[in-house]
Amino acid sequence: MQINGAHVLVTGANRGLGQQFVLSLLDRGAGRVYATARRPDLIDVPGVVPLRLDITDPASIAAAAAAAPDVKIVINNAGISTGANLVTGDLDTIRREMDTHFYGTLNVIRAFAPQLADGAILNVLSAISWLAFDGAGAYHAAKAAEWALTNSVRLELAHQRTLVTGLHLGAADTDMMAWYNGDKSAPEVIVAAALDGIEAHRSEILADAWSRQVKAWLSEDPSVIYREAAAALTA
């Protein structure tokens, strides 16, 4: 799978990592970039095809798939972070996280899968797929579900040789993480790792040191994982 010349669709392309995906795809010579958002008027990158796409709206997804029948790579980047916990959080807010990260991503995949033979799907996940934080219970659960979705879809689409990969990262220096004062990776570094991973046909992409560390902890007992994570974050 080569980025140069490929026709690519990016969800949530109006800001943050999504916007960086669009810029990096153009730099790498993508043949056509469909930059999608709920408000495509906010997409101001020259040389792209802006499309309206709300991944929580099946009709919007169907319309985008009809408008972009030549896409061979789909980058599922759109997401939200509400700060809701599971026990005390508002249930409608928790459902919004799941509707976006799990059902929204799944519905986009279902709409585009028939045209992605010998193509690729990249789901933007997170190290929080594997590690919970107080204040991010809904996000953790939704991203964990999206990780499981990624692994299942990979098996289901293997017969048509569609690469299905997940991008895991810690904090990136975007507006969504503006509140966070810890170490943050530059968006262009994260996106470069993601696009390199697609071209190398990797089934999982660990874009930074934090995601590699959290993945390495998964074989440990949970009490060990959370003790070591707390120590690492306060070091």
In angstroms, the CA 81 to CA 189 distance is: 22
| pLDDT number for residue 234 | 77
Both tokens of residue 209?
């040191």
Which residue in the block uniquely carries the two structure tokens 């993945």?
Answer: 215
Residue 171 near residue 177, CB atoms below 8 Å: yes
Sketch out the chain's domains with CATH numbers.
7-234 (3.40.50.720)
| pLDDT number for residue 124 | 98
| pLDDT number for residue 176 | 67
What residue type is assigned to position 164 of the chain?
V
In angstroms, the CA 235 to CA 233 distance is: 6
Of 117, 108, 104, 122, the residue nearest 200 (C-alpha): 122
Which residue in the block uniquely carries the two structure tokens 């007992």?
Answer: 221
Both tokens of residue 215?
């993945």
Segments in the chain below pLDDT 70: 172-182, 235
| pLDDT number for residue 181 | 67
Per residue in 116-138, pLDDT (tens digit) is 999 999 999 999 999 999 999 99
**Which residues in 38-73 are b (16+ Cβ under 10 Å) and which e?**
bebeebeeeebebbebbbeeeebbebbbeebeebbb
